[in-house]
Amino acid sequence: MTKEEIKVFCPATIANISCGFDVLGVALDSVGDEMIVRKVSEKGVRITKLEGQDLPMETLKNVAGVAGIELLANSDYEGGFEIEIYKKIKAGSGIGSSAASSAGAVWAMNELLEKPFSQLQLVKFAMEGERLASGVAHADNVAPALFGGFTLVRSYDPLDIVTIPAPIALYATVIHPQIEVKTSDSRKILKTSITMETGIKQWGNLGGLIAGLFKEDYELIGRSLVDHIVEPIRSILIPGFDEVKKAVVQAGALGSGISGSGPSIFALSEGASTAQNVAVAMRGVYENIGIDYEVHVSKVNVDGVREL
Ligand code: ADP
């Protein structure tokens, strides 16, 4: 019997991961939204419930609605969908709040329609939600949210997503200082060109990070978590950034950087206990500065969006 309703977990994601601006991302396990999607006979997509965050419920102002409309436009399904969104990820936090809703909506709809679309097609639909959230249809959050694990957007045209395995003991610690940095603002301040010298350093690190993930070489992962292009500019918007970077390495992290467009800061560690020590170190910095924060410690999520 075909399902009429499905409840899903929509993971938070870290995009960029230092050297992989706009191309790398990873899904988290212990933080994400929940969503219920239901088939209805009335055409179109309606958000019927939205709890946890103050976000627009109008279909075309909510990324879940926009991504869902894009899926419907490519489907011969005659009916529509109702969506209930239970937000746990704060919007604008830099851990893929919008991507979780876009990816969750299209994944759930595809399940209810008995999977007419490939994962890659779902990424394309979800990217339309990202266009609404930030003005740019980037895939570096929606790809890991849908595929799970680490993903590389090898090419945007044509869209080509490569999944990358994660070493079993790799953990992420993410701190979200409670200040607002809009994705659109943090994009505006970036330069539009780089020197050859900077490019060489950056793709050296990106290759190193990918190789480190495949080889399960934690040292190599740590050495490669360096961003010569975006971090030096964007980190100015995040109070305490330099202190956090120093503190997490002292606590044993492999390395750290800005999560997505910030203000969240992520660190990667080998093992859960180190990741917890890193959380303590991050908290200490913001306690000193006097800014409220939220911390998440998570294993890498290898499934992406999943049914609950
Ligand atoms: P993040 O980096 O956490 O994804 P963004 O700044 O990219 O945050 O996206 C948040 C923006 O998307 C906000 O302007 C928010 O109003 C808008 N938005 C629309 N629908 C949603 C949704 N379902 N979940 C989260 N953000 C949404």
Give the pLDDT confidence of 246-264 residue by residue, as tens digits.
999 999 999 999 999 999 9
Instruction: Identify which of 10, 97, 136, 142 to mutate to test ligand 1's pocket (most ligand atoms within 8 A of the CB).
Output: 97
pLDDT of 188: 84
pLDDT of 183: 67
Same domain, 135 and 213: no
Predicted confidence band of residue 2 (pLDDT cuts 50, 70, 90)? confident
Same domain, 21 and 158: yes
Q: What is the mean pLDDT of residues 148-160?
A: 97
Same domain, 275 and 245: yes
Q: What is the mean pLDDT of residues 96-112?
A: 98
Same domain, 87 and 146: yes
Spatial CB neighbours of 89, under 8 Å, sequence gap ≥ 6:
12, 31, 32, 33, 95, 96, 97, 100
pLDDT of 1: 63
Same domain, 15 and 158: yes
Same domain, 64 and 196: no
141 CA closest ligand 1 atom index: 4
Same domain, 18 and 150: yes
Token pair belonging to 142: 């929606």
Does the beta carbon of 102 lie inside 6 Å of ligand 1? no
Same domain, 147 and 226: no
Write the pLDDT tens digit of every residue in 46-64.
Answer: 999 999 999 999 999 999 9
Residue 198, domain CATH: 3.30.70.890
The residues assigned a catalytic role are: 130, 183
pLDDT of 182: 72
Bridge partner list, 45: 81
Same domain, 219 and 141: no
Residue 129, domain CATH: 3.30.230.10
pLDDT of 208: 98
Same domain, 121 and 85: yes
Predicted confidence band of residue 225 (pLDDT cuts 50, 70, 90)? very high
Write the pLDDT tens digit of every residue in 14-37.
Answer: 999 999 999 999 999 999 999 999
Q: Which domain holds residue 73?
A: 5-165+303-307
Q: Which residue, judged by its Cα, is nearest atom 2 of ligand 1?
A: 94
Mean pLDDT of the chain: 96
Same domain, 147 and 15: yes
Say whether pLDDT at 167 is over 90. Answer: yes
Same domain, 130 and 257: no
Q: Which residue, judged by its Cα, is nearest atom 14 of ligand 1?
A: 133
Tally of domains within the chain: 2
pTM of the model: 0.96
